[in-house]
Amino acid sequence: MKNNYKFLNNINFPSDIKKLSQNELKTLAQEVREEMIDAVSETGGHLGAGLGVVELTVVLHYVFNTPNDKLIWDVGHQSYPHKILTGRKDKIRTLRKGNGLSGFTKRTESEYDPFGAAHSSTSISSALGIAIANKLSNKSDNVIAVIGDGAISAGMAYEAMNNAGSSKTKLIVILNDNDMSIAKPVGAMRAYLAKIFTGKIYFSLRETVKLVISAFSKRFSKKAGKAEDFLRSAVTGGTLFSSMGFYYVGPIDGHDIDALVSVLKNAKEVNYEGPIMVHIKTKKGKGYSFAEKSEDKYHGVTKFNINTGVQEKSKSNAPSYTKVFANTLVNHAEKDSKIIGITAAMPSGTGMDIFGKKFPSRMFDVGIAEQHAVTFAAGLATEGYKPYAAIYSTFLQRAYDQVVHDVAIQSLPVRFAIDRAGLVGADGPTHAGSFDITYLSTLPNFVVMAASDESELVKMINTSVDINDRPSAFRYPRGNGIGIDIPNLSEKLEIGKGRIIKEGKNVALINFGARLNECLIARENLTKKGINLTLVDARFVKPLDENLIWQIATDHEALITIEEGSIGGFGSHVAQFLNEKKLLDGNLRFRSMFLPDRFIDHDKPDLMYKYAGLDATNIENKILDTINSKVVVKKSN
């Protein structure tokens, strides 16, 4: 810590917070906010979400007996204040760095993180599971889930609330309503929450919230009357949550420590068999003017100057893959009115905000609802439209059944723009695009491509526009391209055809995806050692370029594949083809390079690829090892 704080210096664990008076909590909250801003200015990370829940975090640890009482943060990107107060303040400047703190909650990091999370809308489900486990074990510990207004709109949250409402199990859900999850929340839930908060009755009877707080515990006794029920519903209007079996209270000012203490103490102490919903209203980016004024409330930031709010810019002059995708799609959409853009609550992350500004009536942000996004796209495809579902690889996992059942089986021409393919750096394994090659290339009727650079990405987008008889997908990494010229819209690929980058002798390396530049470095190093290898860019895993692979396999003594994905992907398809054609029965030495069978912790991307064995040095060593190995062919009698 850099500042001599009045209280925070002496706060190491939540037990220390309980030594403070309720009035002193306000100073502590301000100190936590200052420390978080200072730390994230050095590390980068998720800023706005954490700033909005500082007061809530302080009060939760003041009122409840964590870690015995289980506190679950949905998504986890708002957990930085929680980390500061739970024994990790001295490590807070290691956030998202190698061997440092995770940017999300993580069970192996602290006993105060009872459930790891980095994907949204899992908190109520996991909290209910823990609450029922407590019930079965005759434990009286509380379980609290904190979920945002964007996350609660997702299908999984509704499923969990539906189950919780009939469970007769005590569970406290805090709805953190800040009208801003990552992007602006969308859909009917947003309108519903806005109506609750902005209703004239709420503002004209603001003081009656105090009556609701005082009546809280009475509500659970048989003495509670219709008048109190009417007052609560008149002030709050929480009809939806009440109808799902929740006892609803709110909205409460989420930055008012006194109100939070009163409400949460009552929620903790009341003997009630059922879920309680406490609706709080907060401001994302609270307490840092640049974050408060930002359109996305400084959701995710790079290192920044605290005094000016200016974020550190990328040193690369090459455009990001995301912008290349967005700008190329816009160019096509100007000529083709059937092109539709779809994203699941990630318009800026996927570049769909660029598309939406140009074509507002043709871009649909469906909220945190990847399953719906895919089937929605399938519906559009049945009517002759050309939907592009731009979804991170790691989030598309959540919609795999829809990809199979609603798209692939019906052979509908949905185009999947798969961003964040491969390892992603500071966000770690929860956000890595490790599995899409495998889970998509197993499906019949699919075209699956991977861009080796930004030029190839444009060609793949160009190609996908004309694929009207089946679904297609093209994957590309996070970050910037390599800085080469962008082709025009007419440059397309022949489906299922790869390309030879460099020709050599004896050894061939077939790349699938964005490891091509590392392959070129490895080839250059080997050339200096007198080894000239053939380098191929596969472009497609499905359909596989069988003619090219046959040619390479029969012309070389050794063949190596490389990809930024798990086992079961490109290398497995090549191995299956070689085996089927009996090309592995002779002297061909075949090896595959792919992500190892483990989750790789957050770090700088280049270091993560080094740990994964997919950097130039490891590629070079694999080639040398393959050359030096001997193949023993068993002869039949």
pLDDT in tens, 269-300: 888 889 999 989 998 888 888 888 775 656 77
Q: What is the pLDDT of residues 474-518, one digit of tens each?
A: 999 999 999 999 999 999 999 999 999 999 998 999 999 999 999
Mean pLDDT within 27-31: 95
- Per the CB < 8 A criterion, the answer to whether 229 and 247 are in contact is no
Whether the CB-CB separation of 516 and 536 falls below 8 Å is answered with no
H-helix or E-strand spanning residue 591? strand 589-593
Query: Of 288, 310, 340, which residue constitutes the final position of a domain?
Result: 288
Instruction: Let me know if residue 299 belongs to a domain.
Output: no
C-alpha 530/C-alpha 524 separation (Å) is: 10
Q: What is the pLDDT of residue 191?
A: 56
Residue 88 lies in a domain: no
Q: Is the pTM of this model over 0.75?
A: yes
| Percentage of the chain exceeding pLDDT 70 | 88
Neighbours of 163 (CB within 10 A): 18
pLDDT of residue 352 exceeding 60, the answer is yes
Q: What domain range is 607 assigned to?
A: 499-628
Beta-carbon count within 10 A of 457 CB? 26
Over its C-alpha atoms, the chain yields an Rg (Å, rounded) of 27
Find the mean pLDDT for residues 106-115.
93
Q: Name the E strands within 354-414.
A: 363-365, 386-392
497, 530 Cβ separation under 8 angstroms = no
pLDDT tens for 395-447 read 999 999 999 999 999 999 999 999 999 999 988 898 999 999 999 999 999 99
pLDDT surpasses 50 at 231: no
**What's the mean pLDDT when you consider all of the chain?**
88
Instruction: Enter the tokens of residue 449.
Output: 């491509």
579 and 506 share one domain: yes
Output DSSP code: residue 225.
-
Paired residues of 562 in beta bridges:
511, 593
147-156, 171-180, 225-234, 487-496: least confident range: 225-234
Q: Is residue 453 part of a domain?
A: yes
Mean pLDDT for the stretch of residues 190-211: 45
How many whole angstroms separate alpha carbon 220 and alpha carbon 395? 40
| Predicted confidence band of residue 314 (pLDDT cuts 50, 70, 90) | confident
Same domain, 468 and 528: no
In this structure, how many other beta carbons lie within 10 angstroms of the beta carbon of residue 499?
Answer: 15
pLDDT at 199: 47
464 with 503, same domain: the answer is: no
SS3 404: helix
Q: Cis peptide before 596, with omega less than 30 degrees from 0? A: no
pLDDT at 32 over 80: yes
Instruction: Out of 27-31, 252-256, 423-427, give the one with best mean pLDDT.
Output: 27-31
Strands 386-392 and 415-419: parallel
Q: What is the pLDDT of residue 480?
A: 94
List, edge to edge, every strand of the sheet that includes 171-177. 70-73, 143-148, 171-177, 275-281, 247-253
Indicate if 208 and 155 belong to the same structural domain: yes
Task: Give CA–CA dist 368/150, Å, rounded.
Answer: 7
- Cis upstream peptide for 67 (omega within 30°): yes
Rounded to an integer, the average pLDDT of 376-389 is 97
In the residue annotation, 499 being an active-site residue is answered as no
In a domain, 67, yes or no: yes
Task: Specify the pLDDT at position 385.
Answer: 97
- CA distances for 244 relative to 6, 159, 161, 239, 437, angstroms: 44, 10, 7, 9, 40
Would you tell me how many other CB atoms lie within 10 Å of the CB of residue 283? Answer: 18
Q: Is residue 493 part of a domain?
A: no
Determine if residue 297 is left, alpha or beta; phi over 0 gives left, psi from -120 to 50 gives alpha, anything else beta.
Answer: left
Q: Which of 442, 460, 475 is the last residue of a domain?
A: 475
Active site residue 338: no
Domain limit, last residue, from 288, 309, 337:
288
Least confident range from 167-181, 246-260, 333-347, 593-607: namely: 167-181
379 and 438 together in one domain: yes
Place of tokens 């459930």: 115
Give 509's contacts (C-beta < 8 A, 6+ positions apart). Answer: 519, 522, 523, 533, 534, 535, 536, 560, 561, 562, 619, 623
Sequence-distant (6+) residues with CB within 8 A of 344 are: 365, 366, 367, 368, 369, 370, 372, 373, 391, 395
Q: How confident is the model at residue 189 (pLDDT cuts 50, 70, 90)?
A: low
Judgement on whether residues 227 and 114 belong to the same structural domain of the protein: yes
Instruction: Please spell the DSSP secondary structure of 566-585, one letter per residue.
Output: -TTSHHHHHHHHHHHTTTTS
**Which one of 33, 93, 283, 398 is the catalytic residue?**
398
Query: Domain containing 138 — which CATH number?
Result: 3.40.50.970
The rounded distance, in Å, linking the Cα atoms of 571 and 538 is: 11
- What residues contact residue 239 under an 8 Å CB cut-off, 6+ apart? 233
Per DSSP, the residues of 516-552 read HHHHHHHHHHHHTTT---EEEE--EEES--HHHHHHH
Mean per-residue pLDDT, 317-326 = 94
Position 205 scores a pLDDT of 35
Same domain (yes/no): 570, 460: no
Active-site residue identified among 31, 34, 370, 518? 370
* Contact predicate 199/191, CB 8 Å: no
- Tell me, yes or no, whether 180 and 229 share the same domain: yes
Indicate which residue of 88, 89, 232, 284 is catalytic.
284
Provide CB contacts within 8 A for 209, sequence distance 6+: 235, 252, 259
> Are 530 and 467 within one domain?
no
Pairwise CA distance, residues 518 & 606, whole Å: 10
Active site residue 398: yes
Examine the domain organization and report whether 537 and 597 are in the same domain. yes
How confident is the model at residue 518, as a pLDDT?
A: 96
Give dist(CA 395, CA 451) in Å, integer.
19
Nearest Cα neighbor of 471 from 382, 350, 574, 548 is: 382
Distance CA 452, CA 448 (A): 13
Q: Is residue 99 classed exposed, middle or buried when 0-12, 13-18 and 19+ CB atoms within 10 A define those classes? A: exposed
In a domain, 637, yes or no: no
Q: Is the dihedral of CA 479, 482, 485, 490 positive or negative?
A: negative
Closest CA to 60 of 260, 274, 266: 260
CATH number of the domain encompassing residue 567: 3.40.50.920
Cβ(509)–Cβ(534) under 8 Å? yes
How many domains does the chain contain in total? Answer: 3
The length of the chain in residues reads 637
Average pLDDT over residues 157-163: 91
Contacts of 427 (CB under 8 A, 6+ apart): 96, 103, 118, 602
The answer to the question of residue 4 being in a domain is: no
At 193 the pLDDT is: 57
Nearest to 171 by CA among 130, 208, 210: 130
Residue 26: phi, psi to the nearest 5? -65, -40
In a domain, 511, yes or no: yes
Same domain, 445 and 526: no
d(CA 613, CA 616) in angstroms, rounded, equals 9
Same domain? For 255 and 364 the reply is: no
Q: How do the residues of the chain divide into helix, strand and coil, expressed in percent and rounded to 5?
A: 45, 15, 40
Query: pLDDT tens digit string along 207-218?
Result: 434 444 444 544
Asked if 538 and 577 count as a contact pair (C-beta separation under 8 A), the reply is: no
pLDDT band at 241 (very low <50, low <70, confident <90, very high): confident
Look at residues 111, 112, 103, 245 and name the one whose alpha carbon lies nearest to residue 173: 245
Q: Is the dihedral of CA 54, 55, 61, 62 positive or negative?
A: positive
